[in-house]
Amino acid sequence: MRVIGLMSGTSYDAIEAAAADLTLDDDTLLLRPLGHLSVAYPDDVRALIAASLPPAATTTQAMCALDSGIGQAFAGAAVRALRELCAGAADLVVSHGQTVHHWVEDGVVRGTLQLGQPAWIAEATGLPVVSDLRSRDVAAGGQGAPLVGMTDTLLLRALPGIPAALNLGGIANVTVLAPGADPLAFDTGPANALLDAAVHHFTDGAATHDEDGRRAAAGRVSTELLRFLLDDPYYRRTAPKTTGKEHFHLPYLKRALDAVPTPAPDDVLATLTRLTAVTVADACRAHQVTELVVSGGGTRNPVLVRMLAEELPGVPLRRSEDLGLPSDAKEALAFATLGFLTVHGLPGTHPATTGASRATLLGSITPGLYPLRLPEPATRAPHRLRIIH
Ligand SMILES: Nc1ncnc2c1ncn2[C@@H]1O[C@H](COP(=O)(O)OP(=O)(O)O)[C@@H](O)[C@H]1O
Ligand SMILES: [Mg+2]
C-alpha cells in the first residue's frame, strides 16, 4: 500500500511530507521510502498559529481560520507528495495536523487538539485520509503521545543492548526498548522550544532559531539559570509523561530569567542548549540506554549534538539515517505507518508507551473520491520494521 504521511511538529517550522510503500510480511512490516519534501506554511497561517498558541487567548473564529488554513496547507503538501514522490498514484494519506493544544493536568492528558481539516486533503487528492490520530489513545486513558513510540519500537528491535530513539523537535521525546521489557516512550522536556522562543525574543522576531548553534557556541552556560530550570518537577515525573509548548514557552523562560542574575543572550542560549542535553541524558541514564538513534531538526544544531555526546559518555549516538530513515522524514513516515496500521485494523500504540488502558485503533477516516474500501483486517500485528530500498 502506498501511503503519504504528513506532519508538522510543535515548532511549526514546516510541513514534512513523506511517502512510502508499506507491506505486511508475516511479523515484519516492510517500509520502502519513496522520498520526502518539506513545505513551508504560508506566512499568514504561520503568524496565526504563533498568535493563537498558549498562553495567548484565542477565539473560535481564529480556530476556524486555522483549521481551514492548516488543512489547505497540508492539502498542498499532499498534492505535491502525490505528484513528486508517488508519480500520481497512492492509496492513503495520513495527516497528523498541527497541535494547537496538548492539555495536561497533574500528569493526566485531558485532551489534545490537532487542527488541519482533513476534508481539504481528501478533496485535493481524491484519497482517503486518516487524521486525528491522538484522540483515541487519550480516550483510552493514555497520553496520546509520543505516537512515534510504535514505529520506534518496531525499528529498535533490530539493535542490541538497550537502544533508544530520540527526536529533537520543539519537544524532545525518547523511545527506549530494553530486552524482555515493555517499550517505554515519553517526552524528556524541551528540545528546541525554549531555544526558539529565546531567539525570537532576543531578535525581536527577526530570527526563528539559533542557526547551527552559533550563538550558543559563543555563550557560556549560566550555572544559576541551568539549576533553576532543572528544578522543574516535570523532569522528576516518571514515564509515561508528555508535555508541550503550553508549558515550555517564552513567559516560562522569562520567569526563570527574572529569578536569577540575568545572563547575556548568548549565555542564555548556551544554557538552554545544555538544558536539553542534560535532560535527555538524565532520561537515558535512568533507563540504562546503551545506544541512541537521533532524529529531528535539533540534529542540525552541532552544538546541541556535541553537548549531548558530552553528557552521555560511552553511549554511541547514531543518526536515524544509519537505520535507513531520513531524519527529517522520520516522523512523517511514523505517521504514515500508523495510518497503515489503522486501515488494517491494527492498533497504533503500545499501552506501556502512552499509559493507555489498552492498545487502540487510532484516527478518524475521511473517504476520498470513491466509496471507502478498507483492506482485509490483518490477523497479526507486526513485531519488527524493516526498511528496504
Ligand atoms: N541549522 C539549524 N541549526 C539549529 N537549529 C536548527 C537547525 N535546523 C533546524 N533547527 C531546529 O529544529 C527545529 C525544527 O525541528 P523539527 O524536527 O521540524 O521540529 P518539530 O517536529 O517540532 O517541527 C527548528 O525550530 C530549530 O529549532
Ligand atoms: Mg518541524
* Judgement on whether residues 141 and 169 belong to the same structural domain of the protein: no
pLDDT at 299: 97
Contact predicate 65/101, CB 8 Å: no
Closest approach atom of ligand 1 to CA 328: 17
**Residue 282 domain flag:** yes
* Judgement on whether residues 88 and 119 belong to the same structural domain of the protein: yes
265 Cα–ligand 2 center, Å:
24
Tell me if the pTM is above 0.75: yes
Instruction: Find the CATH number of the domain harbouring 245.
Output: 3.30.420.40
270 Cα–ligand 1 center, Å:
16
Q: Whose CA is nearest to atom 9 of ligand 1?
A: 297
pLDDT at 223: 98
* Judgement on whether residues 260 and 381 belong to the same structural domain of the protein: no
The residue whose CB lies within 8 Å of the most ligand 1 atoms, and thus the one to mutate among 214, 300, 305, 335, is 300
**Residue 32 domain flag:** yes
**Residue 91 domain flag:** yes
10 Cα–ligand 2 center, Å:
7
* Judgement on whether residues 34 and 107 belong to the same structural domain of the protein: yes
Q: Which residues does the annotation place in the binding site?
A: 9-16
* Judgement on whether residues 203 and 114 belong to the same structural domain of the protein: no
* Judgement on whether residues 145 and 285 belong to the same structural domain of the protein: no
pLDDT at 204: 98
| Confidence band for 192, pLDDT divided at 50, 70 and 90 | very high
* Judgement on whether residues 121 and 205 belong to the same structural domain of the protein: no
* Judgement on whether residues 173 and 63 belong to the same structural domain of the protein: no
Over the stretch 139-188, which tens digit does the pLDDT of each residue have?
999 999 999 999 999 999 999 999 999 999 999 999 999 999 999 999 99
8 Cα–ligand 1 center, Å:
11
**Residue 252 domain flag:** yes
For 252, the enclosing helix (H) or strand (E) is helix 250-259
Give the whole-angstrom CA distance, residue 96 versus residue 27.
Answer: 26
Residue 264's contacts (CB-CB under 8 Å, 6 or more residues apart) are 219
* Judgement on whether residues 318 and 337 belong to the same structural domain of the protein: no
Give the whole-angstrom CA distance, residue 65 versus residue 55.
Answer: 19
Residue 159's contacts (CB-CB under 8 Å, 6 or more residues apart) are 177, 291, 293
* Judgement on whether residues 12 and 114 belong to the same structural domain of the protein: yes
* Judgement on whether residues 145 and 118 belong to the same structural domain of the protein: yes
Q: Whose CA is nearest to atom 15 of ligand 1?
A: 297
Q: Show which of 323, 347, 364 is a domain's final residue.
A: 323
pLDDT at 332: 98
Rounded average pLDDT over 339-354: 97
349 Cα–ligand 2 center, Å:
22
Tell me the residue range of the domain where 10 lies.
2-149+327-387
Give the whole-angstrom CA distance, residue 275 versus residue 56.
Answer: 25
| Confidence band for 379, pLDDT divided at 50, 70 and 90 | very high
In 247-306, the DSSP E strands lie at 291-295
**Residue 368 domain flag:** yes
pLDDT at 82: 99
3-state secondary structure of 381: coil
Rounded average pLDDT over 18-40: 98
Residues contacting ligand 1 via CB (< 6 Å): 8-11, 13, 169-170, 192, 195-196, 209-213, 296-298, 300-301
In the chain, the DSSP E strands lie at 2-8, 15-25, 28-39, 92-105, 108-115, 129-131, 163-168, 171-176, 184-190, 291-295, 317-319, 364-366, 384-387
Q: Which ligand is nearest to the CA of 40?
A: 2
Q: What are phi and psi of 25, to 5 degrees?
A: -125, 95
Q: Please give the order of strands across the beta sheet that includes 291-295.
A: 184-190, 171-176, 163-168, 291-295, 317-319
70 Cα–ligand 1 center, Å:
19
Q: Show which of 276, 296, 323 is a domain's final residue.
A: 323
Q: Which residues does the annotation place in the binding site for ATP?
A: 9-16
**Residue 154 domain flag:** no
β-bridge mates for residue 186, sequence order: 174
Over the stretch 355-371, which tens digit does the pLDDT of each residue have?
999 999 999 999 999 99
Grid cell, residue 194, equals 525554549
Neighbours of ion ligand 2 (CB under 5 A): 9, 11, 13
238 exposure class (CB count in 10 Å sphere: 0-12, 13-18, 19+): exposed
Rounded average pLDDT over 310-321: 97
β-bridge mates for residue 24, sequence order: 29
The residue whose CB lies within 8 Å of the most ligand 1 atoms, and thus the one to mutate among 7, 199, 301, 307, is 301
Give the whole-angstrom CA distance, residue 131 versus residue 116.
Answer: 9
DSSP assignments along 301-343, one per residue: -HHHHHHHHHHSTT--EEEGGGGT--GGGHHHHHHHHHHHHHH
Closest to 134 measured CA to CA, from 101, 160, 156: 101
* Judgement on whether residues 198 and 145 belong to the same structural domain of the protein: no
**Residue 248 domain flag:** yes
Give the whole-angstrom CA distance, residue 37 versus residue 297.
Answer: 14
State how many domains the chain has. 2
Closest approach atom of ligand 1 to CA 12: 23
Q: Show which of 323, 342, 374 is a domain's final residue.
A: 323
Over the stretch 82-113, which tens digit does the pLDDT of each residue have?
999 999 999 999 999 999 999 999 999 999 99
The residue whose CB lies within 8 Å of the most ligand 1 atoms, and thus the one to mutate among 37, 38, 209, 273, is 209
60 Cα–ligand 2 center, Å:
25
Grid cell, residue 205, equals 522576531
